[in-house]
Structure 1
């Protein structure tokens, strides 16, 4: 009962993988970055409004000037609130786009690359992808603002007070150094925590699978102790991550407060003419107030970046696992088939990686264009494997498949499929039928349902095609589920039809009704049917017994 091996990936590999994914967020990410930059400009306007308003009060200027400054301050505040809201929404949209693209790539890698354990695949597609959310939604938009805005604000502050700008620039250096040191330490602890989580997850899954053995050998105490040790190790790693996070936050806040305090002390003593050393400038209230109001904003983008840095750590920890998935290979564009093709299997062998013997060995078959061929044999003879081979779900270990005499891939548009256990989703019957062709009209869906023999089932349910299935796809009998799957195949105008046990577990009357629907579905298509039923085999132009 060994635990699964955790593949260790060098941090530079996961960082390079993340950098390649940065462009997946598309234009939404650039808009979020632009909105973050605009927030800095609004902050400058806010500081200017405060400075001119304070000067108007101190020098007893006309009330109109004060109210104009007050209006500018309120407008800047509202603008910043709107920009923050728009940036958050745009960042979330960028993250959704990037996650959808990543999830599609991972799915293609899982189906087209080496087989992965189910637990690892599920973790990658769900938890791994979701760990990227904060990275795209918050960290990437904030990173550009943290790079550009502090220098821009210091340059603007230099117009009012070069000395204050020099103080900000000098204190920016230890602030950046503290961020780098804290980020490096936190990243290392985050990777260690993620590895501890993977080990605990793998150990728990391994012991659940071996639960009958654990109970048989009365090893409950040993197993519980092992799980407890792994859980304690994970808790310790998590506390270390939190400890580093708190220390880094304290260091960053210290340097930010120190910078603001130094600027405030300098401006105050300059205004009071109490500086113990000569300086080449003499501040008035307006310039001093502007610099003092702008000082906290210089560090605000970097503080937001520090707050979002844990999102990058989570993304890098997930990238260490996701980067082990192969990038989906670009496939050449293939025009879909325009008519029912002839299919030839030549010495085809299907061998699954974990199997001791091939599922199919040296299989030869000629399927004429538009013909119906029934694959008949005992369970495990390889009928479903041959159908899955055309679907791209079984490995072609040896031999070749010719389509109209040429080796060419079969695209998803070329095949209509009706399997033993059709997928049903929460939604109406019409929506479930339309999964095979999303642009189908209501009349086309009704015709497919009628031709598949779903008419009596629809008449018995309120709403007919609009009858809503539950979250498990329930509400239909086994035979009705197969007819719904057949209706999907009828709705899709594909020249190849694949049917896997279409009449299994049906009574005689239901089987006879299904046979009539199968004749309609196979008309004008090259059809392969895997079946145990002699009645279904009697429909075929050719019967192959495996």
Structure 2
């Protein structure tokens, strides 16, 4: 699968490179929010004309009152439509980016804590950005100017006041956004540190308990939690202060319009103006004044969503790669060549380096060595579960760096086979969904799995012994029509009698396949054509 990068690392830049459907949704949502000014103008006109006609009786004022009510209902419908489109856009963006991250996570074997945090928290931060902020940004840029232009028809002086007060309003918003940007980035970094620390400590829990390091670990997690709390408080403090500043300028602007209209109507202005308002125009301008600032206030309320998204965006970047062809090795057992292979997880020291091994077609090779020597990592490398840091792997004529991986052409039996709720037969058939019941039964018989195949098991495999679990994994490997077989400690923790019974099943499963077996068992190693010590 091709993984596209998020470059530059900003949500707005990603939107420009996204597919047309998402851009159309964003434009549509923005235009719907801009269209909200039409019922706003209708409400202001209906309200002002209702007030001026009410003295003639309810019949004269009723059409204008109806206009005001209909405008309010229309505003509600427009608001609902913009929310629904925003939800659709946010969901579409999350699905797209989460799919890219998962492809990057499994395609390159990058299981770092930062990638996991980005997958959960970072993608969620983009939801609010594309669902709310992206559409409000267009409305905040266009709607105030359109409303001021309409107000200028009724009162040019009032429109001038609105333009004058709009400038400090925008400046205050920009300053607040600049102050919040840095704090939002630091808050997301603190969240990544806390998430990574927690994941690392959970992974190392047995060691922590063995070395009685619980208190120190608790202190580390507490310190990271307190740091996140402090940074979150700073972000919220800036948000509250900026909201107060914007509300102040908004109230000040409306108050200035109200004072001007009132003194103009009473002809008490201390300076000359080129207009004389009547009640209808004064009421119309006064009703429109709050609408000038409403789009910007909504944008300010969603501005934190932008800061959170931009803080998360760098962690959502993925490596760019060209589409890789799918691999089809065919039914014949291929040769496998490891050439100067190195495996390293993240920034840790390499698990293995400069490893070279040439496996002939159909050969059975046993990988033996102490725990931690890299036996399982070599098998995981072929499955795409470990990163190829250096070197190359060739399977037949295919190179790992030039194809989409070998996992689809590999039969695999690990130490802990995946078990899903269902019957035993359904669990075996996970290896080949097209397999007939007869083939499933044959695979179980060859693997020595003599249990009732209609027996139901839960996700924990309750009632299955360790040997039966391994036979389940071996039955899957035997069922899958793959030219490569990988076995990871197939007889671990089995007694001598159970191991002897397993050896014949392993021998049959390896027939006609190129087989790699990671094992500590001398009996299993004796089955191999070649033993490689790591």
Contact 2:7 2:13 in 1 (8 A): no
In the other structure, the counterpart of 2:234 is 240
Paired residues for 1:64-75 under 5 Å: 65-66=63-64, 68-70=66-68, 72-75=70-73
Once residues 455 and 189 of structure 2 are traced to their aligned partners in structure 1, the CA distance between those partners, rounded to angstroms, is 54
The answer to whether 1:252 aligns with 2:246 is yes
Alignment pair present for 1:342 and 2:334: yes
CA contact (8 A) 1:25 1:98 kept: no
2:89/2:130 contact within 8 Å kept: yes
Matched residues in 2 for 1:283 and 1:436: separation? 82
Q: CA shift at 1:293, angstroms?
A: 2.9
Q: Does 1:302 align with 2:296?
A: yes
In structure 2, the partner of 1:6 is none
- Give the distance between the partners of 2:37 and 2:389, measured in 1 at CA: 64
From 145, 148, 152, the equivalent of 1:151 is 145
* Structure 2 residue 366 is the aligned partner of structure 1 residue 375: yes
Whether the aligned pair in 1 keeps the contact of 2:424 and 2:455 (CA below 8 Å) is no
Q: Cα distance, 1:249 vs. partner?
A: 0.9
Could you give the per-residue CA deviations for residues 293-338 of structure 1, whole angstroms, max 9, x where no partner exists?
3322222222122112222222333345x27x76243354355333
Cα pair distance change 1:16/1:514, threshold 3 Å: same
Q: For residues 82 and 28 of structure 1, what CA distance do their matches in structure 2 show?
A: 19
Aligned to 2:109: 111
Q: TM-score, normalised by structure 2?
A: 0.76
Q: Structure 1: which 5+ residue stretches go unaligned?
A: 1-12, 462-466
Superposed, 1:2-41 pairs within 5 Å as: 16-23=9-16, 26=19, 27-28=21-22, 30-41=24-35
Equivalent position to 2:489, from 501, 510, 522: 501
The question of whether the paired residues in 2 share the 8 Å contact of 1:452 and 1:483 is answered with: no
When residues 70 and 304 of structure 1 are mapped into structure 2, their CA distance, relative to the original with a 3 A threshold, is closer
2:98 to 94, 97, 100: 100
Correspondence for 1:415: 410
Match of 1:388 in 2: 380
Distance 2:69 2:341 in 1: 78
Q: Secondary structure at the match of 2:109?
A: helix
2:167 corresponding residue in structure 1: 173
Of residues 41, 45, 51 in structure 1, which corresponds to 2:45?
51
Aligned counterpart for 1:79 among listed residues 58, 77, 80: 77
Name 2:319's counterpart in structure 1: 327
Aligned to 1:464: none
Residues 14 and 525 of structure 1, relative CA distance in 2, 3 Å threshold: closer
Between Structure 1 and Structure 2, how many residues are aligned?
510
Displacement of 1:175 in angstroms is: 0.8
Residues 443 and 479, structure 2, Cα contact 8 Å, conserved in 1: no
Instruction: Output the CA distance in 1 between the equivalents of 2:387 and 2:237.
Output: 49
* Contiguous gaps of at least 5 residues in structure 2: 1-5
Using the TM superposition, give the Cα deviation of residue 507 of structure 1 relative to its aligned residue in structure 2, in angstroms: 5.9
Distance 1:214 1:517 in 2: 41
How large is the RMSD of aligned CA atoms in angstroms?
Answer: 4.5
2:135 aligned with 1:141, yes or no? Answer: yes
Write the distance in 1 (CA, Å) between the matches of 2:422 and 2:272. 78
* Alpha-carbon spacing, 1:247–1:349, altered in 2? closer, same or farther (3 Å): closer
TM-score by length of 1: 0.75
Q: Is the 8 A contact 1:479 1:510 kept in 2?
A: yes
CA 1:328–1:149 in structure 2 vs 1: closer, same or farther (change >3 Å)?
same
The CA distance in 2 between the partners of 1:227 and 1:346, in whole Å, is: 41
Aligned partner of 2:310 among 288, 312, 316: 316
Cross-structure match for 1:7: none
Shift of 1:359: 6.6
Is residue 152–residue 158 contact of structure 2 (8 Å, CA) maintained in 1? Answer: yes
Deviation sequence 1:142-195 (CA, Å, 0-9, x none): 223322322233333334433333322222211110011111112233344455
TM-superposition CA deviations, 1:418-468 (whole Å, max 9, x none): 32223446788788667667xx46xx475664344267354333xxxxx5x
For the pair 1:404 / 2:391, whether they are aligned, the reply is: no
Q: Following the alignment from structure 1 to structure 2, what is the Cα–Cα distance between the partners of residues 180 and 67?
A: 39
For residues 346-378 of structure 1, give each alpha carbon's deviation from its aligned partner in whole angstroms, at most 9, with x where no partner exists: 655546475588477443321x2xx35242534
